[in-house]
Homo-oligomer: A and B are copies of this chain.
């Protein structure tokens, strides 16, 4: 949840640093002492800004889930055809993954360490996102715009394909983020074509 401008609150800094640390070391391997160092304070002082290490993870996952759901709602509200909706959705998701890589990476990998209720909520939102994505796809198939396929296979496969941003981030090949994003979208949209 980075703000564009100045005056970022201490709490926001903490969340940013936590996401960065969790991404590079993994949630379990990340220690509050290490996080404290990144914040230039003692470990004990962190507890003035968060209730626990797990709460930081929860806030990261919640932020990501909310962002996904907001994108979905915005796309559904747009009065365009299935093809444009899917393209818009993929674009939104890629922008999210590129601009907030640490957050998405951590939520994707470390949601298993959420506590029971938070984990259930997270998984429900994920499932909901997939179902609404599948609904758009099905609409497009019925209109004959997309080739027929089992959306319970195709949608997860498409979403997984987007995770190749992880490859791109690790060793940014010559191309820009925007070019990368465009090529992925172009390939995926082509893969749906009916011809």
Contact: B164 with A162, CB < 8 Å?
Answer: no
| Chain B neighbourhood of A168, CB < 8 A | 153, 156
Pick the contact of A175 from B150, B187, B195 — CB < 8 Å?
B150
Q: How large is the interface on A (under 10, 10 to 19, 20 to 34, 35 or more residues)?
A: 35 or more
Query: Taking the complex as formed, is A163 at the interface, i.e. its CB lies under 8 A from any CB of chain B?
Result: yes
Contact: A164 with B175, CB < 8 Å?
Answer: no
CB distance from A155 to the nearest CB of B (A): 9
Secondary structure dominating the interface of A: helix
Query: Taking the complex as formed, is A113 at the interface, i.e. its CB lies under 8 A from any CB of chain B?
Result: yes
Would you give the 0/1 interface string for A154-187, flagging 1 where the beta carbon is closer than 8 Å to chain B? 1011111111101110000101000010011001
Query: Taking the complex as formed, is A149 at the interface, i.e. its CB lies under 8 A from any CB of chain B?
Result: yes
Query: Taking the complex as formed, is A28 at the interface, i.e. its CB lies under 8 A from any CB of chain B?
Result: yes
Contact: A183 with B26, CB < 8 Å?
Answer: no
Sampled A-B contacts (24; CB under 8 Å): A26-B26, A26-B27, A26-B28, A26-B112, A28-B28, A109-B109, A147-B190, A152-B175, A153-B164, A153-B173, A153-B180, A154-B187, A156-B164, A156-B168, A157-B161, A157-B184, A160-B161, A160-B167, A161-B161, A163-B163, A187-B191, A188-B191, A190-B191, A191-B191
